[in-house]
């Protein structure tokens, strides 16, 4: 796992990311019916962070980014209140995969688009605002609902021998998939087959807190 260096340099990038995302493009939103603001602050976001397994933001860097998400949320809320129609506006706060966190909104035909994005388990947990240090008061202003952060797979992940450069590569991928399947997971049946798959397999990676003021 790659070590994070140059935190002060990262801190200088955060205000720019906030300003770029604070303005909600209402024309775009009315056309597309939904929008989001993800964490796109190098080294987090995009292929780079996935490929190099970048550690998640911590301490002051995490606080500054979360404060940015809250500022974006507040700015979007002001804009959405002006359009005088129902809207979905939430912060998706991931733990421990914090860099996946984002602000999400939708309107019109997509108003309920995100309702079933995350699985709601039978058990529940409560977010503890004290875990966010100096942001405790700001975090406490939100109502947080608990969901699961999961990775999803199905049999299509195995692929076909002809999709690989060699039979050996196919067998290695098949072996990786079978290894993953030995881990605890939940199963969701498809109403109709998708490719060769009749069901999906969901593996818990952490928690998602869905926040709304």
* Mean pLDDT value across residues 120-128: 94
pLDDT in tens, 148-176: 999 999 989 988 889 899 999 999 999 99
Query: What is the reported pLDDT for 10?
Result: 86
Q: Is the pLDDT of residue 3 over 60?
A: no
Query: What is the reported pLDDT for 12?
Result: 87
Cβ-contact 211, 142 below 8 angstroms: yes
3-class DSSP string for the chain: CCCCCCHHHHHHHHHHHHHHHHCCCHHHHHHHCEEEEECCECCECHHHHHHCCCCCCCHHHHHHHHHHHHHHHHHHHHHHHHCCCCEEEEEEEEECCHHHCEEEEEEHHHCCCCCCCCCCCCCCCCCCHHHHHHHHHHHHCCEEEEEEEEEEEEHHHCCCHHHCCCHHHHHHHHHHHHHHCCCCCEEEEEEEEECCEEEEEEEEEEEEEEEEC
Half-sphere exposure of 168 (CA within 13 A, CB side): 0
pLDDT in tens, 29-60: 999 999 999 999 888 876 555 556 788 889 99
Q: What is the longest distance spanned by two Cα atoms in the chain?
A: 59
Please, which pLDDT band fits residue 184 given cuts at 50, 70 and 90?
A: very high
* Mean pLDDT value across residues 7-21: 89
Query: What is the reported pLDDT for 4?
Result: 55
Look over the chain and give the mean of its residue pLDDT values, rounded to a whole number. 91
Judged on CB neighbours under 10 Å (0-12, 13-18, 19+), 65 is buried
Compute φ and ψ for 52, nearest 5 degrees. -95, 5
Q: Count Cβ atoms below 10 Å from residue 144 Cβ, excluding itself.
A: 20
pLDDT, greater one: 71 or 157: 71
């Amino acid at each position: 796992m790659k070590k994070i260096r140059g935190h002060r340099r990262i801190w200088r990038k955060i205000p720019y990311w906030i300003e770029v995302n604070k303005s909600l493009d209402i024309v775009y939103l009315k056309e597309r019916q939904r929008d989001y603001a993800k964490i796109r602050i190098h080294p987090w976001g995009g292929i780079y962070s996935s490929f190099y397994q970048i550690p998640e933001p911590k301490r002051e860097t995490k606080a500054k980014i979360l404060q940015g998400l809250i500022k974006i949320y507040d700015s979007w809320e002001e804009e959405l209140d002006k359009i005088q129609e129902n809207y979905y506006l939430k912060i998706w706060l991931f733990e421990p995969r914090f860099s996946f966190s984002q602000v999400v909104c939708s309107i019109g035909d997509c108003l309920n688009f995100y309702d079933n994005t995350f699985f709601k388990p039978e058990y529940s947990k409560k977010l503890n605002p004290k875990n966010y240090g100096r942001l405790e008061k700001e975090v406490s202003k939100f109502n947080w609902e608990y969901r699961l952060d999961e990775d999803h797979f199905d049999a299509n992940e195995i692929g076909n021998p002809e999709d690989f450069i060699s039979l050996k590569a196919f067998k290695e991928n098949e072996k990786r998939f079978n290894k993953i399947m030995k881990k605890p997971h939940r199963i969701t049946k498809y109403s109709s087959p998708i490719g060769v798959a009749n069901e999906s397999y969901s593996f818990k990676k952490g928690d998602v807190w869905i926040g709304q003021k």
